[in-house]
Amino acid sequence: MFGQSLFRSRQLHSVVLVCLFLAPLCVASDWNYEETHNDAREFVAGGHVHVRFSVGDIHIRRGDSTKLKLEYTVKSRRERNVKEAHVDFDVHGNDATIELHAPSGGNTAFDIELEVPANTNLDVHEKVGDMTIDDIDGDKDLDLGVGDIRVLTPDRNKYRLVKADTGVGDVNSSGYGETSGWLGKTLKYRGDGKYELRAHVGVGDIRLEEK
């Protein structure tokens, strides 16, 4: 019992240190400068899309074509950071990579709207912000340092595996079974579908919602 308490105390201490370290990145009000950009690329249904960025919010939704449509707004307190921020958007066959880069040392964030084919495999990694994934068929690998993940999953029978866990925070769902854990929560679900959903948040919540 004492060993478990000591472990939990150390885990909480580590989380507090992480939050203090990341606090400057989480300030997201009173932006002085911002610019919005759009880009679109031909793609294929059933492909893999990899997204990487540090700070901001992302919303990925189902489109009605085979195109990838990207709209992003760069926000910062410094005009130079807005001008220097850039995106690497590469498509090779059924594999696409979107990397959003901001200058280091400045308060800069991205607001991202990404439209993908209805059947798309997603691999999204972010450090700080919120992540929302609408009704999209395919495998999902979602990783977030600090913030919340929300996934709309109207038919859980499409999944053969759902694994969601938080370092500190809750996992909320309907129909996927019970969670376990103390500071952090873990949810595991196995079904008869063809897709896998893996979601991890260091500090924050995960919500799996049905339509």
Per-residue pLDDT tens digits for 141-191: 999 999 999 999 877 889 999 999 999 999 998 778 788 888 889 999 999
Domain boundary residue among 98, 129, 160? 129
Q: Which long-range contacts (CB under 8 A, 24 or more apart) does 27-34 make?
A: 27/107, 28/75, 28/109, 30/77, 31/75, 31/76, 31/77, 31/109, 32/76, 32/77, 32/78, 32/79, 33/75, 33/76, 33/77, 33/78, 33/79, 33/81, 33/82, 34/73, 34/74, 34/75, 34/76, 34/82
Quick one: 109 and 145 in the same domain?
no
Domain boundary residue among 129, 155, 173? 129
**Residue 119 is assigned to a structural domain of this protein:** yes
**Could you read off the pLDDT of 12-27 as tens digits, one per residue?**
545 544 554 454 444 4
Quick one: 124 and 105 in the same domain?
yes
**Residue 22 is assigned to a structural domain of this protein:** no
Quick one: 155 and 203 in the same domain?
yes
Q: Domain of 92?
A: 27-129
pLDDT exceeds 90 at position 47: yes
* CATH code, 100: 2.160.20.120
Domain boundary residue among 110, 129, 148? 129
**Residue 8 is assigned to a structural domain of this protein:** no
pTM of the full predicted structure? 0.86
What per-residue confidence (pLDDT) applies to 21?
Answer: 46
